[in-house]
């Protein structure tokens, strides 16, 4: 590989490894920097159950290893580096980071940022929340509601998103416990009417969620409502009282961001700095689905390739 790779990628989760695969397949010298694959949100998933074409339900770790292997096989290089800073000039684009030998500088003709996001309960993590992720604790009704048809479930939150989640669950769930950390819902009357009309949504106002219980799977949500603590028997809880988080402290004001710290991009996934692209959970600050991150990684690689072709006078 030449000293300055055509495409320098930060993050080896599903978005970054897919970008690396397509970048390398296009004959571009490609270097991926990552602080360690186990940090990938997908690497922590116990089972990946809804990835098209992968029906054997591999662990997230196994699937991300396969993705990395495939990108390496196509010619991409990977290095263990924790990125700590950037300098995006008009021609030179630089990434600073730390590896086992200390501070290093990396240049890329183009950069793809794919360092993902995280999730944090507004406030702090609940007892049971981390242990039961993927075992009934979910942050996405779109992704996981089908697993809990005809089961008692709960939603925690007070936003329009939480109301929409409760309504969506009500279509198939046996009962929806709607745990609301407020004495009212500040949403349009029409939404309140839909919630009432759904028939299976049980509203618990001024309620606090104390813990999520279960060992192999969620069995109950411990709530305090009306001064009384009770354990609501449920199979799943959907948490909508969360803070957005992106893994992008290293950017330090270098790029335009959205309200949640998410990186703003155009339809080609170009950021506010020319030649710098972004993909995956970094674009939202809330968990998406690995297959969406993968698709965005591919799009970012194709956009970076197009940018290089223009710079080379081939387009
Ligand atoms: C808590 C949580 C639970 C989830 N549960 C599910 C689920 O049950 N089912 C499901 O389908 N999806 C789930 N998701 C969503 C799914 O995992 C993500 O949408 C997907 O992994 C996003 O891919 P990504 O490549 O954008 O980011 P990630 O997978 O997060 O990858 C980002 C990579 O960037 C690296 N990185 C970050 N910062 C730096 C840095 N400074 N220097 C170097 N490297 C860095 C990390 O090490 C990591 O490898 C969950 C996500 C979260 C956060």
Q: Check residue 134 and give its pLDDT.
A: 84
H-only helix segments in 128-253: 141-144, 160-170, 189-198
Q: What is the pLDDT of residue 37?
A: 61
3-state secondary structure of 148: helix
pLDDT of residue 119: 63
The answer to whether 154 and 211 have CB atoms below 8 angstroms apart is no
Contact 85 CB / ligand 1 (< 6 Å) = no
- Per-residue pLDDT of 64-101, as tens digits, reads 999 999 999 999 999 999 999 999 987 779 999 999 89
Residues of the chain with pLDDT under 70: 1-2, 37-39, 118-124, 243, 315
- pLDDT at site 123: 55
Query: How far is Cα 236 from Cα 176, in angstroms, rounded to an integer?
Result: 10
Alpha-carbon separation of residue 39 from 19, 116, 118 (angstroms): 18, 10, 10
Q: Which helix or strand (DSSP H or E) is residue 153 part of?
A: strand 152-156
Measure 117 CA to ligand 1 centroid, in angstroms: 6
Query: Whose C-alpha lies nearest to ligand 1, atom 49?
Result: 40
Q: Whose CA is nearest to atom 8 of ligand 1?
A: 134
Residue 214: phi and psi, rounded to 5, are 145, 160
Quote the tokens at residue 196: 């009432």
């Amino acid at each position: 590989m030449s000293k300055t790779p055509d495409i320098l990628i930060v993050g080896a989760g599903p978005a970054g490894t897919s970008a690396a695969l397509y970048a390398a397949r296009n004959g571009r010298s490609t270097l991926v920097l990552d602080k360690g694959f186990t940090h990938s949100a997908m690497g922590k998933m116990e089972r990946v159950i809804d990835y098209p074409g992968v029906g054997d339900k591999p662990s997230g770790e196994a699937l991300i290893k396969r993705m990395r292997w495939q990108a390496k096989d196509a010619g991409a290089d990977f290095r263990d580096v924790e990125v700590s800073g950037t300098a995006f000039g008009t021609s030179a684009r630089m990434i600073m980071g730390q590896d086992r030998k200390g501070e290093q500088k990396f240049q890329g003709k183009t950069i793809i940022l794919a360092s993902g996001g995280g999730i944090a309960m507004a406030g702090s993590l609940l007892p049971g929340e981390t242990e039961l992720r993927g075992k009934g604790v979910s942050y996405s009704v779109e992704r996981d509601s089908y697993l809990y048809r005809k089961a008692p479930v709960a939603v925690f939150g007070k936003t329009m998103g939480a109301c929409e989640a409760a309504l969506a669950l009500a279509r198939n769930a046996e009962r929806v416990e709607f745990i609301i950390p407020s004495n009212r819902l500040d949403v349009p009357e029409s939404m309140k009417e839909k919630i009432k009309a759904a028939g299976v949504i049980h509203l618990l106002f001024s309620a606090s969620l104390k813990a999520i219980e279960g060992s192999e799977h969620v069995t109950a949500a411990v709530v305090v409502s009306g001064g009384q603590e009770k354990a609501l028997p449920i199979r799943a809880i959907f948490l909508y009282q969360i803070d957005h988080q992106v893994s992008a402290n290293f950017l330090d004001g270098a790029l335009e961001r959205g309200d949640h710290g998410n990186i703003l991009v155009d339809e080609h996934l170009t950021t506010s700095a020319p030649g710098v692209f972004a993909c995956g959970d970094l674009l939202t600050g809330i968990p998406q689905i690995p297959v969406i991150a993968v698709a965005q990684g591919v799009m970012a690689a194709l956009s970076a390739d197009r940018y290089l072709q223009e710079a080379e006078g081939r387009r």
